[in-house]
Homo-oligomer: A and B are copies of this chain.
Amino acid sequence: MHGLEDRTYTSDAEPGDHVTVAGWVHEVRDLGGIAFLILRDTEGRIQVKFEKDEMDDELVETGLGVARESVIAVTGAVDEEPRAPTGVEITPDSVDVLAESDTELPLDPSGKVDAELSTRLDNRTLDLRKDEVKAVFEIRGEIFRAAREAFRDANATEITTPKIVATGTEGGTELFPITYFGEEAFMNQSPQLFKQLTAGSSLERVFEIGPIFRAEEHNTPRHLNEATSIDFEGAFCDHEDAMDVCESVIRSAYEAVERNCEPQLEALGLEAEFEAPTESFPRLTYEEAIERINATGELDEQLVWGDDLPTEGEHALGEDVGEHYFITDWPSEIKPFYIKDYDGDDTLSTGFDLMHPRMELVSGGQREHRYEELIAGFEQQGLDPEEFEYYTKMFKYGMPPHAGWAIGAERLVMTMLGLDNIREAVLFPRDRQRLSP
């Protein structure tokens, strides 16, 4: 194809080689008698030298006449050249233009001109040609790889659960309605019920990384209407076991990025500061959390037992703790009904949150596995247990105690890399205003 069978990546071109490299025209610097074209591919860049008086006119014209971001293949000899950006340069025998670009670009992939986020998202292909944007998505892929490996080390089986569902999982949150062969259905806002149904089988421990859909009208730098959820559910696990698995998944993700993504961290300017957590994440009880928040003096009013933690409170506590931490032992009344209370104290929930200092990352807990209590929970929530019969009936046939959690993958990427806006952590974000690309 286009003579590219033997394509060499720019990073593999060594002095003495005769190669064909292919990629985008990153930059052309014309110094008069000599001109340099910088060609960019997925692995890096390479300098291509044009000596006008010594080379075929047509070759020079093709190489220097082509617009930035055009796609070309260059064949030629590689020589050492200390002044070239990567220490080598190619003297071309031929330049083949594979796709010519318009000269006017909606954004500048060389990154010399800043672009608004919305311009970047409208032109994601061009945006993803920037080293620092590409790096985010390479790291995202590595996080997924490492997370799955950690799940497998914890004996969990990868599953996929349906995204088209008859009923929503959580009462309060809004659902996107869909028309399913004339019936009303919804896009699932969480694999919660399905992962529980699966953990109650002989699989016992399961995980899923997949899309979730929330019709919330939030429009903030940390909410998406379509997000990626990293889910775990384990039979014969309590909330402590679930927190252990959670910590191991997050730690593995950080360690993998530290170990395997050095060039990407460098592209993001994070090589000096990036550090995988070395200590266990502290586990504060809700009671300790509100005491510490109150002690910071950052809130106008003191928090009391039963209060939700306000965002400023989370921020103050996050600054105080300075690393990932769990909040455990919540008041039952502010946790979802399907989270189990402690045995013998129905005011105290086994629910937990994992906080990155900047924001909530994970919520989880041991689940209510007792049929009667589950039905009562639906009723207290104002939900009709009949509508969830496909789920509740399985609790009559030996549903083991089980626990689990979910991380928002984009929040994990965002907090790990210090991104300002969650939309930078997803290729094609969906929010109230954005439905394409």
Contacts and interface: CB of A to CB of B under 8 A. Distances in A.
Given A204-B42, A397-B69, A164 B176 contact: yes
Interface string A141-165: 1001100100010010111111111
A71 B428 contact: no
A105 interface: yes
Contact of A427 (B159, B165, B437): B159
Given A1-B240, A238-B1, A128 B397 contact: no
Interface in A89-116: 98-102, 105-106
Contact of A125 (B41, B126, B185, B397): B397
Residue among A125, A211, A225, A366 with the highest chain B CB neighbour number at 10 A = A125
A124 interface: yes
Given A105-B397, A241-B1, A99 B369 contact: yes
Interface of A: 1-2, 4, 7, 22, 24-25, 40-42, 69-71, 98-102, 105-106, 122-131, 134, 137-138, 140-141, 144-145, 148, 152, 155, 157-167, 176-181, 183, 185, 187, 193-194, 197-198, 200-205, 210-211, 213, 215, 217, 225-226, 228, 235-238, 240-241, 366, 369-370, 390-391, 393-394, 396-401, 426-430, 432, 435-437
Given A134-B202, A435-B166, A436-B165, A400 B22 contact: yes
Contacts of A105: 397
Contact of A162 (B179, B203, B235, B430): B430
Given A162-B226, A437-B391, A41 B204 contact: yes
Contacts of A123: 393-394, 397
Contacts of A225: 164
A344 to B, nearest CB: 13
Contacts of A137: 157, 159, 203
A177 B184 CA distance: 11
Contacts of A177: 178-179
Nearest to A194: B428
Contact of A202 (B42, B140, B193): B42
B138 A157 contact: yes
B201 A128 contact: yes
Contact of A396 (B102, B197, B201, B217): B102
